[in-house]
Amino acid sequence: MPIFDLKDANAGYNGRAVLSNVSLRIEKGERVALVGRSGAGKSTLLTLLYSQRRRGSALIPQDPGLVKTLSVFHNIFMGRLHRNGAWYNLRNLARPMRREIEKVEPIVACLGLEDEMFTPAGELSGGQQQRTAVGRALYQQGDVVLGDEPVSAVDGHQARTVLDAIAEAYETVVLAMHDVDLALAYTDRIVGLNGGRVVMDEPSAGLTRGDLDSLYQR
């Protein structure tokens, strides 16, 4: 039973086709990178996958989808709203409980945000916001994570730490990435998109940087 199974899927906005006849099957445990030029349809494909299987999936959107007036703690805590009752959640909204803070602390530390735990997300830098969004996905846990350029604003060394954390937390990973080196290093399957079509679908192992360059040409 595959985790995702698209057959000849189409998608578009306002009558403009973004994806055409995309077929994609992703099995449990696979680590997939979606690569391609901007506008190739990566984000749309991710959204499509997410909408097919929301339960058990965590999403890291490109616009990090944070609540800007809430703290880093709260934004990460939101990853597990579904596990608690509404009253418990509201209590933590008004005043975070010690035990919840303790659960969030390791994630914050791993992402290098320990000093910003109670800073409103809107006051963080772009990279910090992105890490907070990753933190939410890490905290959520589940079997699949769908990330849209989750480290695009994070610098090199830290990007690797973040991707390590994602890889450790989730069995099945689908990431849209523009950094070809990172894609090759952290995933075992590369799906190349161009003009809304899948034009490449191969294991990472045999590929080199040069093989992917064609995706970025018109």
Partner 1 sequence: MRRSERVSTSFGFLGVGLFCLVFADLSVSTLDPWQEMARMARGLVTPDFLAVDRLGEALLQTLAFALLGVALGVVAGFGLALVFHVRVVRWGCAFVRAIHELFWALLFLQMLGLTALTGILAIALPYAGIFAKVYSEILEEAGPRAADTLPAGSGIVSAFFFARLPDAFVHLKSYTFYRVECGLRSSAVLGFVGLPTLGFYLESAFKQGHYSEVSALLFLFYVVIATLRLWMRPRLIPVYLLIAPFVLAGGAEISLDNIVRFFTNDIVPYPLRSADVLDITAWTAFGTWTWELVADQALPGIVATLVLTQIALVGSGVLTLVFFPLVSRRFLGPVGRTAGHAFLVVVRSTPEYILAYVLLQFWGPSMLPAIVALSLHNGAIIGHLVGRFSDELALRPDHPRGLDLYAYEVVPRVYGQFLAFLFYRWEVILRETAILGILGIQTLGFYVDSAIAEIRLDRAMFLIVITALLNIAVDGLSRAIRARLRLATTPEIQ
Query: Does 96 interact with partner 1 (rule: CB under 8 A)?
Result: no
Query: In angstroms, rounded to a whole number, what is the distance separating the alpha carbons of residues 189 and 202?
Result: 6
Nearer to partner 1, 51 or 125 (CB): 51
Q: Which of 93, 97, 109, 185 binds partner 1 (CB under 8 A)?
A: 93
The H or E element that residue 52 is part of is helix 42-52
In sequence order, the 6+-apart residues with CB closer than 8 A to the CB of 96 are 73, 74, 77
CB atoms within 10 A of CB 7: 9
* Nearer Cβ to partner 1 (125/214): 125
Q: Which amino acid is at 23?
A: S
Alpha-carbon distance of 146 to 178, in angstroms, equals 15
Binding residue for partner 1, selected from 86, 168, 205, 210, defined by CB under 8 A: 86
| 104 scored as a contact of partner 1 (CB under 8 A) | no
* Dist CA 141 CA 187 (whole Å): 19
CA dist., res. 132 & res. 144, Å (int): 18
Q: Return the number of the residue (94 or 205) whose C-beta is nearest partner 1.
A: 94
Cβ–Cβ < 8 Å for 138, 84: no
Nearer to partner 1, 74 or 189 (CB): 74
Residues forming beta bridges with residue 202, ordered by sequence position: 190
> Which residue of 9, 11, 17, 70 would you call a contact of partner 1, by CB under 8 A?
70
Is residue 152 a contact point for partner 1 (CB under 8 A)?
no
Among 9, 11, 81, 167, binds partner 1 (CB under 8 A): 81
Min dist CB 206 to partner 1, Å, is 34
**Measured torsion, CA atoms of residues 157, 150, 72, 88, in degrees rounded to the nearest 10:** -130
Please, what is the angle between helix 126-140 and helix 98-110, to 10°?
120
Footprint of partner 1 on residues 197-216 (CB under 8 A)? none
Q: Which of residues 15 and 85 has its CB atom nearest to partner 1 in the complex?
A: 85
Range 111-150, binding partner 1 (CB under 8 A): 133, 136, 140, 142
Closer CB to partner 1, residue 153 or residue 207?
153
Q: Site residues (CB under 8 A) for partner 1?
A: 54-61, 63-70, 74, 78-82, 84-86, 89-90, 93, 133, 136, 140, 142
